[in-house]
């Protein structure tokens, strides 16, 4: 029984040594046979050199170096395609995902669960805006999407081999792992934990726009509700306009004076223009994702694979 640990990295020279110091004893105690796959977007620092130096004394450490920066979601999918374990754990290197939780995940896996997700009880060091966006985002996605994603769960999770194989079969290019795992299904469970602050350095992830993109992927890639909402708003506005026209007509017939002037026209034009632009933007989000899927470009390109069989 082998466990693969998939670690997306970018500019993490300060955290890699401490991550390895903490994770290797846990893996040796939990499973014995394991591989640690660092999935590296090209970094301007010494992250790659540190990983290769550590591999000299530990052949279980492996490296996937990509030809350019493809981003964390694609780096994770690359690790899933290259891993050979009976199960895989996706974990961040910054130690906000405690490696000690792997022991409990492995125990749940041995009980028969195919997916073991780490669920955050607290989020130390995260601003209130990020926490609010996360809370609202999970509620919206679970309300309208075709899949259900447990709140406060990130990519930190254990997946069995059959989950990995099914995810590798999916051709979707957005890399929204939480949605893809929910789409695959099988037996899933949660392991709660308190998320600590980063061990060192600052995050390379844009908290606001990154969270926004993830939320949009959850909405637009797993639901057509936004399109239905545009239709509903269109019918609602048409109904309101018909009602207003009927009221104006009735007042005219009754001889009741009523003001019609520039403010009314400006408000109506701006309101209808805003609705049309929002609807066009929603259509653009879907069309853009169709465009990306149709091209079928590779999700990532590996420049260097160290430690893997030919």
Terminal alpha carbon distance of the chain = 21
pLDDT in tens, 247-287: 777 777 777 776 666 556 766 776 777 777 777 777 777 77
CA distances to 243, 245, 248, 261, 276 from 265, in Å: 16, 13, 14, 7, 16
Q: Where are the beta strands (DSSP E) in 87-152?
A: 87-90, 115-123
Distance of CA 81 to the CA centre of its chain: 18
| Predicted confidence (pLDDT) at residue 153 exceeds the cutoff of 60 | yes
Strand order in the sheet with 87-90: 188-195, 115-123, 153-160, 87-90, 2-9, 33-40, 61-66, 302-306
pLDDT confidence of residue 210: 55
pLDDT in tens, 109-140: 888 888 898 888 776 656 666 666 666 666 66
| DSSP state, residue 67 | S
The token duo for 42 is: 């090209």
3-class secondary structure, 218: helix
Cα atoms in the Cβ-side hemisphere of radius 13 Å centred on 55:
18
CA distances to 173, 221, 253, 277 from 290, in Å: 10, 10, 52, 20
Instruction: Give domain 2-223+298-306's CATH number out of 3.40.50.300, 3.90.550.10, 3.90.1150.170, 4.10.320.10.
Output: 3.90.550.10
The domain spans of the chain are 2-223+298-306, 225-295
Closest to 278 measured CA to CA, from 235, 227, 241: 227
């Amino acid at each position: 029984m082998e466990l693969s640990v998939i670690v997306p990295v970018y500019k993490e020279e300060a955290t890699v040594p401490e991550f390895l110091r903490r994770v290797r004893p846990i893996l040796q105690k939990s499973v014995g046979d394991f591989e640690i796959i660092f999935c590296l977007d090209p970094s301007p620092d010494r992250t790659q050199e540190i990983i290769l130096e550590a591999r000299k004394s530990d052949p279980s450490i492996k490296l996937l170096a990509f030809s350019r920066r493809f981003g964390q979601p694609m780096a994770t999918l690359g690790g899933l395609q290259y891993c050979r374990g009976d199960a895989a754990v996706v974990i961040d290197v910054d130690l906000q995902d405690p490696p000690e939780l792997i022991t409990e995940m492995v125990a749940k896996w041995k009980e028969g669960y195919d997916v073991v997700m780490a669920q955050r009880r607290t989020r130390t060091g995260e601003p209130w805006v990020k926490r609010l966006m996360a809370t609202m985002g999970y509620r919206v996605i679970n309300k309208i999407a075709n899949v259900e994603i447990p709140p406060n769960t990130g990519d930190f999770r254990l997946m069995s081999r059959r989950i990995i194989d099914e995810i590798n079969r999916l051709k979707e290019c957005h890399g929204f792992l939480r949605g893809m795992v929910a789409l695959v299904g099988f037996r899933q469970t949660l392991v709660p934990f308190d998320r600590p602050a980063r061990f060192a350095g600052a995050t390379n992830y844009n908290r606001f726009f990154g969270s926004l993109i993830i939320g949009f992927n959850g909405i637009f890639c797993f639901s057509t509700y936004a399109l239905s909402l545009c239709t509903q708003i269109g019918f609602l506005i048409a109904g309101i306009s018909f009602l207003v026209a009927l009221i104006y007509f009735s007042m005219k017939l009754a001889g009741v004076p009523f003001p019609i002037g520039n403010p009314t026209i400006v408000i109506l034009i701006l309101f209808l223009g805003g609705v049309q632009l929002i609807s066009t933007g929603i259509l653009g989000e879907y069309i853009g994702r169709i465009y990306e899927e149709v091209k079928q470009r590779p999700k990532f390109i590996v420049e260097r694979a160290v430690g893997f069989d030919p």
